[in-house]
Amino acid sequence: MRLGYFTMPMHPMDKPWHITLQEDRAAIIFADELGFYDAFVGEHLADRMENVTNSMMFLASLMPVTKNIKLGSGTSNISQMHPVLIASHAAMMDNMLQGRFIFGISPGALRTDAEALGTLDQDRFKMFEDAIDVILEIWTREAPYDIDLPDNQFPVSTRETCALELGIGYLGQPFQKPYPEIVGTVVAPFSKGVIKMGARDFHPMSANFLLRKWVATHWPNYVEGKESVGAKADPADWRIARTVFVADDDKVAREYGRDAPNSAYREYYKQMRTKMFRANRHGVFKQYREQPDEDITLDYVLDECMIIGSVNKVVDEILALREEVGEFGEIVYAGMDWVDEKLARRSMELMATEVMPRVNAAIGGSADRSAAE
């Protein structure tokens, strides 16, 4: 089982922006030093707490200061930009990283982003699907381009004005062939989107704020998608994100990771709970559809969504997760605001150097990069 890293990120609104950006960079640099396999960074335009506005731009700042860790957009919000721009930027990222880039994609769920861009009333899922189709066509066709797919709103052409002998009319191509690994975040229970991901060989990452019982529904649908095109699903391609905090003793872990009024983890789930209720998506926290809303308290969400404790306790919980949902290839550690930098770093260190070796010993695997690849 590999160890990955994901951050939305989410920070207090009164924490200076330049400080949070430095902190998020430091966390991924440290993850690289610890041997994490990959790191994904989210993006939003109109959220003061989730304040990386362009994940690729942020990841570009990490190129010269990381050595081995793969860097993923987590995700690129595809409905927010023309597919030619996204394809070109992602291809350039892949060439700069020489194979260390992962293309994480989503439509972009924040409605306020869409309002700011003037797309609030448009079908952003259709925009997303059309854009992805065009991006893959750009990456797998030869210039000059004349892409006009049926029922697709993004025709792309360079044929009329190209001069190939001058290099004019070409669009950037990825370093990895035919293109980088494509990863999509899966949030909904029994997601139908993950069936499409399987059919296209995109790889799923189950969200860290989804109940374990709903995480388990993703794999059968992914298998269905793979089988629909005559392919076999590989559990190594399934990432599961979890909110984990590890400390040297259980008391410290519970206090910092859950109970303290200033706990970054408590604040994170307070925000996620509020946002999910606001968007009428709080069903992700329910054990069954008819479960009363009043059951979905903050403490309930923390109990259901977090893995907190000393090394042995966290190892046991990860193994129990694997027993419940089935085999998967990577556990993705959710990064939080560093309320206490020393404890935050220690948690990442324990996860990489103590937890994962014990998990892999128990399941008969290896946590290092060479084995993962």
Dump pLDDT digits (tens) for 206-241. 999 999 999 999 999 999 999 999 999 999 999 999
pLDDT value at residue 369: 42
Is a pLDDT exceeding 50 seen at residue 309?
A: yes
Compute the radius of gyration of the chain from its Cα atoms: 21
- CB neighbour class for 193 (10 Å; exposed up to 12, middle 13-18, buried from 19): buried
pLDDT value at residue 366: 55
Is a pLDDT exceeding 80 seen at residue 370?
A: no
What is the mean predicted confidence (pLDDT) over 327-338?
A: 98
Q: Is 29 helix (H, G, I), strand (E, B) or coil?
A: helix
Report the percent of the chain where pLDDT is more than 90: 97
Q: Which of 58, 112, 50, 48 is nearest to 80 (CA)?
A: 112
8 A C-beta contact, residue 231 and residue 222: no
pLDDT (tens digit per residue) in 279-302: 999 999 999 999 999 999 999 999
pTM to 2 decimals? Answer: 0.96
Is a pLDDT exceeding 70 seen at residue 324?
A: yes
Q: Which amino acid is at 272?
A: M
4 strand-pairing partners: 38, 332
Q: Is 318 helix (H, G, I), strand (E, B) or coil?
A: helix
pLDDT (tens digit per residue) in 232-266: 999 999 999 999 999 999 999 999 999 999 999 99
pLDDT value at residue 371: 35
Q: DSSP code of 258?
A: I
Mean pLDDT of the chain: 96
Relative to beta strand 156-157, strand 182-186 is: unpaired
pLDDT (tens digit per residue) in 113-164: 999 999 999 999 999 999 999 999 999 999 999 999 999 999 999 999 999 9
Intra-chain end-to-end CA distance of the chain, in Å: 11
pLDDT value at residue 373: 40
d(CA 247, CA 345): 10
Q: pLDDT band at 365, cuts 50/70/90?
A: low
Taken in order of first residue, the domains within the chain and their CATH numbers are: 2-74+181-244+307-372 (3.20.20.30)
Q: Is 248 helix (H, G, I), strand (E, B) or coil?
A: coil
What is the mean predicted confidence (pLDDT) over 332-341?
A: 98
Is a pLDDT exceeding 50 seen at residue 106?
A: yes
What is the mean predicted confidence (pLDDT) over 272-276?
A: 96
Q: pLDDT band at 14, cuts 50/70/90?
A: very high
Is a pLDDT exceeding 80 seen at residue 368?
A: no
pLDDT (tens digit per residue) in 34-82: 999 999 999 999 999 999 999 999 999 999 999 999 999 999 999 999 9
